[in-house]
Structure 1
Amino acid sequence: MEIIYAISGLLGGGVLSYFMWDKALKSKKSKIVNEAIAEGEVIKKDKILQAKEKFLQLKSEHEEYINEKSSKVNNFEAKLKQRETSINQRRDELNREIKDFESSKHEVDVIRENLNNQLELLEKKEHEVESLHRQHLEKLEVLSGLSAEEAKAQLVDSLKNEAKTEAMSYINEIMEEAKLSANKEAKKVVVKTIQRVATETAIENSVTIFHIESDEIKGRIIGREGRNIRALEAATGIEIIVDDTPEAIVLSGFDPVRREIARLALHQLVTDGRIHPARIEEVVEKVRKQVEEEIIETGKRTTIDLGIHGLHPELIRLIGKMKYRSSYGQNLLQHSREVANLCAIMATELGLNAKAAKRAGLLHDIGKVPDDEPELPHAVLGMKLAERFKEKPDICNAIGAHHDEVEMTSLLSPIVQVCDAISGARPGARREVVESYIKRLKTLEELALSYPGVLKTYAIQAGRELRVIVGSDKISDKDSEQLSFDIAKRIQDEMTYPGQIKITVIREMRAISYAK
């Protein structure tokens, strides 16, 4: 019974639980369905809203597209109307032009008819003139007994002889005038060239002064028993003079390159403080390389400044060495640059190649700075160096002939010779002529001051102008002109000078009163 009761209880519980579970599932199912229906409604509403928005967007885009197309159509219609208007205007203009052309055509026909009539009259007159000309010729032939061809031949012969005579006289006049003006024009070219180039005065270049901060450094430079100074002199080849001169050491030697090496080496040794023979030899060797580099750089910079290109590197190095050479106290590089500029200016004045003249002027003294010292004049040696480094024949001849040691075969040669002389003869260019230059200026002023009525005289423009101030109460305006002529004539007769000298006589009237 218990088993039956248990089974019946289980069956009853199972049936009850089935009904309860079924009820729960149905309620849950209805809930899920309701939720799905609600969610579907929400999605439906969202989709409807999105569809409305998309519709509105497409509608606005379509309206914009329609508006754009309508505006383009309107613009096109406006352009068509404008073109139609312009075509109508052009058509009206063409109609007017056609009418004008038809009227002008009628006028042209009238003018052509008039011209034809005039041509016919002209032909008739030409025939009449020809007949009259033949009649005159026949009468002349009868009177002279010569035919027209014979008379023409005699006339041509007489005109030829007359033309030859006049041409010869004209040529002689031109030659005489050229001879008279050639010297004057040449002087003008030289003077203009001199006036357009500046120069520097000569400087002393046999010694170099090395300044030191205190005299204590002198002892360190001399070293124990003079070993430092002996090592420095042996390494540089320069005599180093250490005396009582305060804060200075004198470097003496004829070679400017050696003096520059000694000066730079001393500067480095004094700055570094380590002064002993081994260090001296090291520094001198280093400075020698630096000076060699500076020489090449100076040569390159010089050629660039003068606009000279295509030089051989060895020629550029020789140009740089000119910086440390001098001739009669005149720096050789400065002299060569000045001669180059003078040559270019003079060649331009004479209508020659200015670049070639400048090149020859720069290279004319390279024979003074060779690495070896051959027994040849510097002009000939410079010519051989230029030939070795493939310079043109006219450049080589100008270098070799600037002291008349080689025959001149180029127009550049006399230009280089003259410009070299001008550069060396300019006031103050060389020490040997400074004193004579100053003496000449004093003589010039004293000569003008010796005339009566002259109060003051001033030689200006490097002796190319003399200004003479005279008293207004002693000399009149007319006498001033005569005084200027007399002074110029006397200077020409008594003095020797390059170029020309301008004499300006100044006469002024001064009235002075005092208010008391």
Structure 2
Amino acid sequence: MTTTPLFAVLIAIVTAIVGIILGYILRRVLSEGKLKNAEMLSKDIVEKAEKEAITKQKEAIIEAKEQIQKMKEKMHGEIEKEQRERKFEWQQTEKRLHSKEESIDKKQQNLEKKEDKIHHKEQEVCRLKESAKAVYYEQMAKLQEVSNMTSDEAKEFLLENVEQEIRQETAVLVRDMRDKAKEEADKEAKEIVVRTIQKCATDHVAEATVYVVSLPNDEMKGRIIGREGRNIRALETVTGIDLIIDDTPEAVILSGFDPVRREIARITLEKLITDGRIHPGRIEEMYEKAKTEVEKEIREAGEQAVLETGITRIHPELIKLIGRLKYRTSYGQNILKHSLEVAHLSATMAFELGADPNIARRAGLLHDIGKAVDHEVEGTHVEIGVNLLQKYKETPTIIHAVEAHHGDVEPETMEAVIVQIADSLSAARPGARRETLESYIKRLQKLEEIADGFEGVDKSFAIQAGREVRIMVKPDKIDDLETINLTRAIVKEIESEMDYPGQIKVMVIRETRSVDYAK
């Protein structure tokens, strides 16, 4: 009974082992079959891929050959086109060269014809030359027969006349050299003055003793006058300036001798017109504002003048007085502009002459300082200026230069003389001072009348604002030598008959014109 289960167990174990062995053998056989199948499949795939690659390679080669063929055909077409274009250009160039050759041939023929004509004309000129020689000798013989003079005698006569003319010209030359020698005495001074004036060219503004204020309409005149004239009386009382309201349309005239007051009145009136409210209280308010503005402008003008001239350490009150000169004029010349010009002229001349430019510049700026208050203080502007400079502790050298600039005292320093000269230059130069139109026209007419009164004068023209007169003479009545005497005679007549600033240039012109017409 016990052996049977053990045997059964052994049989089961053996059976299991045999099953394992058989399973292993079976799996081995199956895997080897699959491997062979895979190898065969891969060989088929590789062979198929090689065949497709060979096919595609052949197709690519065929396609490349077709592309190369197309490119060859295209290049061949372009080359043929370019050859045709070049051939056309060569043909055109050949045509142009052919036409140029024909043109050159024609020009050559024309040149040959012209050479023939010139040759004929040369022959004709030679014949005329021979004929002219014969006529010349014939005329010389007739001339000697008529004049009863041989050629040698005629030469001697001409030489005598030439010698006389040379003597006259020599006399004129000697006189001119003598005049030139006189001018050389002050040549250096003139050059200094010219250089100085060239370095200082300031603008001058002519001002009048009245201002004209424009109104927006004529109704504004009634508002300025006010009820029973209270507004205009208030304006005149506060400003110290007369208001003239006449028939002039849309305008009011401010008249007053003090330019600063006149300027304040102008600004006041313009502010009132702009504001529109005009009554005594408003007038006083606007007057104070205008006065403040003008005082500020005066101070700024004085500071600008001091800055422009480079002057330092000057009293603030003197700066204000310099600024007041902006509203002061003399013969239409603005005194501040004049003082700046004198300062620059003085400094430049002092530098040229070896004097002190700083002293000359300072004295030039302050030389007319008295004119800033000469409406308010008794005395000449020189006396007032000297008192002001003494009051504000200016140096004696500056005070002396100011005192001597009009010759009230003899100048004792080089700077005083320079300021005196600069003041005269600034006042006397053309355009510095205004003269009336009537006197200006009379002076021009007088110049032309004096010139036209001499015998032999054809025309005369007063130019350069009456500082030059040009005279055209009749060449058949006045010779070259006589023009010198005529010029001197006209100069003497002008000096004796006329009063004028500066000098007047007299130019006498004699010309001979020969006119003919080509037909």
TM superposition score category, shorter chain reference: 0.5 to 0.7
- The answer as to 2:255 corresponding to 1:252 is yes
The range that moved more, 396-405 or 260-269, is: 396-405
- The one of 193, 209, 212 equivalent to 1:209 is 212
CA distance in 2, matches of 1:187, 1:294: 38
CA distance in 1, matches of 2:188, 2:494: 21
- The answer as to 2:426 corresponding to 1:423 is yes
Letter in 1 for 2:338: H
Letter in 1 for 2:508: V
Q: Give, in angstroms, the shift of residue 431 of structure 1.
A: 5.2
CA distance in 2, matches of 1:228, 1:351: 61
CA distance in 2, matches of 1:435, 1:198: 27
The Cα offsets for residues 180-238 of structure 1, whole Å up to 9 and x where unpaired, read as 96567656655776677657778452211110111111122222222222222222111
- The one of 271, 274, 292 equivalent to 1:271 is 274
Inter-CA distance 501–273: structure 2 relative to 1 (3 Å threshold): closer
- The answer as to 2:231 corresponding to 1:233 is no
Inter-CA distance 308–197: structure 2 relative to 1 (3 Å threshold): same
Instruction: Give the equivalent residue in structure 1 for 2:51.
Output: none
CA distance in 2, matches of 1:216, 1:375: 42
Q: Give, in angstroms, the shift of residue 309 of structure 1.
A: 3.8
- The one of 326, 341, 356 equivalent to 1:353 is 356
CA distance in 2, matches of 1:394, 1:492: 39
CA distance in 2, matches of 1:453, 1:261: 60
From the CA coordinates, give the structure whose radius of gyration is larger. 2
Letter in 2 for 1:468: I
Q: Give, in angstroms, the shift of residue 399 of structure 1.
A: 0.7
Letter in 2 for 1:220: R
CA distance in 1, matches of 2:373, 2:427: 21
The answer to whether the 8 A contact 1:449-1:456 is kept is yes
The Cα offsets for residues 156-183 of structure 1, whole Å up to 9 and x where unpaired, read as xxxxxxxxxxxxxxxxxxxxxx999656
Inter-CA distance 394–435: structure 2 relative to 1 (3 Å threshold): farther
- The one of 219, 225, 236 equivalent to 1:222 is 225
Unaligned runs of 5+ in 1: 1-177
Instruction: Give the equivalent residue in structure 2 for 1:379.
Output: 382
Please report the TM-score for the alignment, with normalisation by the length of structure 1: 0.57
- The answer as to 2:453 corresponding to 1:450 is yes
Instruction: Give the equivalent residue in structure 1 for 2:412.
Output: 409
The answer to whether the 8 A contact 2:230-2:280 is kept is yes
CA distance in 2, matches of 1:501, 1:345: 27
Q: Give, in angstroms, the shift of residue 331 of structure 1.
A: 2.5
Inter-CA distance 499–237: structure 2 relative to 1 (3 Å threshold): closer
Unaligned runs of 5+ in 2: 1-180
Instruction: Give the equivalent residue in structure 2 for 1:25.
Output: none
CA distance in 1, matches of 2:489, 2:352: 32
Match of 2:287, SS state, is: helix
The answer to whether the 8 A contact 2:374-2:381 is kept is no
Q: Give, in angstroms, the shift of residue 286 of structure 1.
A: 0.9
The answer to whether the 8 A contact 1:343-1:415 is kept is yes
CA distance in 1, matches of 2:497, 2:305: 42
Q: Give runs of aligned pairs for residues 67-78 of structure 1, distance below 5 A.
A: none
Q: Give, in angstroms, the shift of residue 365 of structure 1.
A: 0.9
Q: Give, in angstroms, the shift of residue 282 of structure 1.
A: 0.9
Q: Give runs of aligned pairs for residues 28-107 of structure 1, distance below 5 A.
A: none
The answer to whether the 8 A contact 2:207-2:334 is kept is no
The answer to whether the 8 A contact 1:191-1:499 is kept is no
CA distance in 1, matches of 2:462, 2:356: 36
- The one of 314, 318, 327 equivalent to 2:317 is 314
Instruction: Give the equivalent residue in structure 2 for 1:124.
Output: none
- The one of 266, 272, 281 equivalent to 2:284 is 281
- The answer as to 2:306 corresponding to 1:303 is yes
Letter in 1 for 2:343: A
CA distance in 2, matches of 1:191, 1:463: 21
Inter-CA distance 441–426: structure 2 relative to 1 (3 Å threshold): farther
Match of 1:504, SS state, is: strand
The answer to whether the 8 A contact 2:258-2:375 is kept is no
Please report the TM-score for the alignment, with normalisation by the length of structure 2: 0.57
CA RMSD of aligned residues (A): 3.6
CA distance in 2, matches of 1:357, 1:492: 34
- The one of 387, 392, 398 equivalent to 1:389 is 392
Q: Give runs of aligned pairs for residues 483-498 of structure 1, distance below 5 A.
A: 483-488=486-491, 490-491=493-494
Instruction: Give the equivalent residue in structure 1 for 2:17.
Output: none
Q: Give, in angstroms, the shift of residue 335 of structure 1.
A: 2.5
CA distance in 2, matches of 1:292, 1:461: 40
The answer to whether the 8 A contact 1:202-1:430 is kept is no
CA distance in 1, matches of 2:443, 2:316: 44
Q: Give, in angstroms, the shift of residue 490 of structure 1.
A: 4.9
CA distance in 1, matches of 2:255, 2:267: 14
Inter-CA distance 408–477: structure 2 relative to 1 (3 Å threshold): closer
Letter in 1 for 2:216: E
The answer to whether the 8 A contact 1:427-1:433 is kept is no
Q: Give, in angstroms, the shift of residue 267 of structure 1.
A: 1.1
Letter in 1 for 2:370: G
The Cα offsets for residues 368-404 of structure 1, whole Å up to 9 and x where unpaired, read as 2139944343213212322333433222111112233
Q: Give, in angstroms, the shift of residue 307 of structure 1.
A: 3.8
The answer to whether the 8 A contact 1:265-1:284 is kept is yes
Inter-CA distance 418–295: structure 2 relative to 1 (3 Å threshold): same
Letter in 1 for 2:293: Q
The answer to whether the 8 A contact 2:429-2:502 is kept is no
Inter-CA distance 306–438: structure 2 relative to 1 (3 Å threshold): farther
- The one of 363, 366, 376 equivalent to 2:366 is 363
Instruction: Give the equivalent residue in structure 2 for 1:108.
Output: none
The range that moved more, 381-390 or 295-304, is: 381-390
Letter in 1 for 2:459: K
Match of 2:461, SS state, is: strand
Q: What is the number of residues matched between the two proteins?
A: 340
Inter-CA distance 268–196: structure 2 relative to 1 (3 Å threshold): same
Inter-CA distance 240–355: structure 2 relative to 1 (3 Å threshold): same
